[in-house]
């Protein structure tokens, strides 16, 4: 989809609404409603996404991204003109929900985690989170991962299955189990290695690393917004946890956070 630069002008007057409408249509811009809001709506530019044709993923559409795409269409636009485009898009962008909360984006396709069915990436399937992993339905075993699990838990197959279920729960769209998990044990027993294994699986953009002792501080709790999982660091045995906030987060209830 391309248009002539003159389409954005009436004589010498730049028509920011024409540029905005063009970007909205070309990149399928949408404000994706987050049903698990923190207490109070986020700023109006937080949940705007565009469909990136380079990887066929919906990605956050920030002010800087708007500037970049606007400049691609007209390199001579001044800062104020680009700002008008950004403000216009924020004011008229349509709201929508993710197409199916059980669809997870991968590098090569979309996957319905209920059925295991692979789906093609298209602008019509709206979702927020993608993991940087290729989906291969034939890869039922992984020697490296299986060896790692055996080193941690020996031949305890129930524990192996339980850990895999924890990892899968991180892909699930809601908090239906209303559980969180703590890795307990002495130092040097593989806890950090396990967490480091999860980080590249979920992807940097999809994780937060907020320690449990900071859950009661509304300066930090906002870092959980829009994330798939929180991989917190070590906590002292004597640490006091903010149980009320923790319970709300685990159950999916709104919590207050400073922007």
Domain boundaries, the chain: 5-96, 100-138, 143-251
| pLDDT for position 238 | 53
Token code pair at residue 83? 């700002």
Say whether 32 sits in a helix, a strand or coil. Answer: strand
Pairwise CA distance, residues 105 & 88, whole Å? 29
pLDDT single digits (tens) 35-69:
655 554 555 556 899 999 999 999 999 999 999 99
Residues 6+ apart with CB under 8 A from 115: none
| pLDDT for position 237 | 57
| pLDDT for position 218 | 77
Pairwise CA distance, residues 19 & 9, whole Å? 9
Q: What is the value of pTM for the model shown?
A: 0.83
| pLDDT for position 37 | 52
| pLDDT for position 28 | 97
pLDDT single digits (tens) 132-158:
999 998 887 778 888 888 888 888 989
The alpha helices in the chain, defined as continuous H runs, are 16-26, 63-73, 79-92, 143-153, 157-169, 191-202, 243-251
Q: Which residue did the predictor score with more confidence, 2 or 111?
A: 111
| pLDDT for position 17 | 96
Would you place residue 18 in the very low, low, confident or very high pLDDT band (cuts 50, 70, 90)? very high
CB 128 within 8 A of CB 228: no
CB 94 within 8 A of CB 75: no
- Please say whether the dihedral angle defined by the alpha carbons of residues 101, 255, 210 and 162, taken in this order, is positive or negative: negative
């Amino acid at each position: 989809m391309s248009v002539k630069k003159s389409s954005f002008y009436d004589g010498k007057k730049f028509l920011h609404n024409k540029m905005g409408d063009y970007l909205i249509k070309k990149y399928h811009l949408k404000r994706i409603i987050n049903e698990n809001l923190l207490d109070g709506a986020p700023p109006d530019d937080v949940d705007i996404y565009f469909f990136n044709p380079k990887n066929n993923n919906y990605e956050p559409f920030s002010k800087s991204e708007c500037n970049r795409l606007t400049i691609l269409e007209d390199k001579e636009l001044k800062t104020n003109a680009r700002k008008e485009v950004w403000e216009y898009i924020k004011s008229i962008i349509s709201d929508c929900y993710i197409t199916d909360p059980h669809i997870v984006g991968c590098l090569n396709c979309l996957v319905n985690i209920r059925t295991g069915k692979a789906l093609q990436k298209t602008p019509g399937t709206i979702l927020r989170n993608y993991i940087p992993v290729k989906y291969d339905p034939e890869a039922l075993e992984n020697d490296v991962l299986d060896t790692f699990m055996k080193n941690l838990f020996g031949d305890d197959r129930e524990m192996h299955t339980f850990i895999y279920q924890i990892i899968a729960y991180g892909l699930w769209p809601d908090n239906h189990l209303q559980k969180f998990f703590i890795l307990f044990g002495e130092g040097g027993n593989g806890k950090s290695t396990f967490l480091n294994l999860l980080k590249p699986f979920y992807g940097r953009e999809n994780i937060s690393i907020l320690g449990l002792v900071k859950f009661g501080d509304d300066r930090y709790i906002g870092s959980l917004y829009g994330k798939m999982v929180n991989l917190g660091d070590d906590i002292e045995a004597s640490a006091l946890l903010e149980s009320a906030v923790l319970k709300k987060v685990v159950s999916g209830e709104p919590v207050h956070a400073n922007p």
